Structures are given as structure tokens and as C-alpha cells.
Amino acid sequence: MSGPNILLTRIDNRLIHGQVGVTWTNHLGANLVVVANNKVAEDEVQQNLMDMVLPDTVQSRYFTLQKTIDVIHKASPRQKIFLVVKDVQDALALREGGVPIDNLNIGNMHYEEGKKQISSTVSVDEKDIAAFKRLDELDVKLDLRGVPSERGQNILDLL
């Protein structure tokens, strides 16, 4: 049996919003958005708000990181999965847990105290940089880009 049909994994600290729910989902042809985040998996109100921006043809699932690791391999081949995580540590935990992440789109990582801004939408600290380097060692393609029409660049070139 082949692995799950993960079209793309995206880091976006906003998780599902217009850009993710419409632009990326349509571009990829995804019919399922899986949000892997421990906090949101327990927050039905936030889930309902995020579901409002998804087209009717796209389903959503909100799983903890561990549940994602446990169930992603049971996905039907018909499920064209767009996997969304909040930060690079979550992406690394999933990859190290056996989730087949080959391509990682880095969309949004907001600035906060102690982080340096490396693009208009991405700020990182030493912990983030170490996680990106580890993902690179695991042969994950690291593509920084906000929307599909932008030209992506390897985030390691900016660190």
C-alpha cells in the first residue's frame, strides 16, 4: 500500500484562513485539509471559524500531532491532503513521527520577541533554524512562499 496522498504541508501560524482555505486549496486540488495542532484539535469554536473559509467541496480534520502520526497512513488514496501546521517544530515532530512530508511550504511565522525577520511574513529564532536544518537533513524541500504565484525560495538561503 502506498502512503497518504499529501499534496503539500504548509507552516502558517494562522492555520486556515482565506489564503490557505481558498488560494492554496484550489491551486493544489485538495479535497481535505488536515490541521495538525494540539491546541486547535481541542477548540471547536476555532475549528468552526476556520471551516467557514473552506469551499463546500473541501473537508477538514483537526488532529493533535500524535493523532496525525497515528492515522495519516490510513487515509484513502482519494483523499488529496493539504496538511497545515502552526510552526516548524510541529512539522519536524510529524516528519520524525513518520508522516511523509517531502515538501514543506513556509508561509507565515509571525514576528515575536527574540525572533529575526527573514522575509515579510517569516521570522525565526535559533530553535526554528535548528528545526529547519534538521528537516533539510531529512531531505524535506523547504520552500518559502506566501501564495502559489510567488517564486519560492529555499529558506536555508535566508538563515
Residues belonging to the active site: 17
Q: Which amino acid is at 50?
A: M
Q: Which three cell numbers stand for residue 36?
A: 495538525
Tally the residues of the chain. 159
Q: Which of 107, 104, 134 is nearest to 121 (CA)?
A: 107
**Cβ neighbour number for residue 135 with a 10 Å cutoff:** 21
Asked if 94 and 63 count as a contact pair (C-beta separation under 8 A), the reply is no
3-state helix, strand, coil in the chain (%, to 5): 35, 25, 40
